[in-house]
Amino acid sequence: MAYVNGGKHFGQYTYEHWFDHEYENKKDLTVNELTIDEIDFVSNMVDNIFNEFVGKDYSVEGNNTFKEYIRPQNILNRVTEKSS
């Protein structure tokens, strides 16, 4: 599991517009392997982005399913399964 590090807040941009603008020169993009001590941060970050940009277009069931998937304990389970 990995996450992208770098760039600026999404602001008013869609993800695609922000990504294309922010990383025109792809050398600024860094992808790091997720460490256990970063799980809470990443879960919270993904939750905030999902709520702002995606979740409003999903049903309650879809939101609940995604929220369960990004719960810190579930991320930890996937990280530890992958490293075994």
Position 43 pLDDT exceeds 80? yes
70/74 Cα distance (integer angstroms): 7
Give residue 57's domain range: 2-83
Confidence of residue 32 (pLDDT cuts 50, 70, 90): confident
State the residue for tokens 């517009």: 17
20/13 Cα distance (integer angstroms): 10
Confidence of residue 79 (pLDDT cuts 50, 70, 90): confident
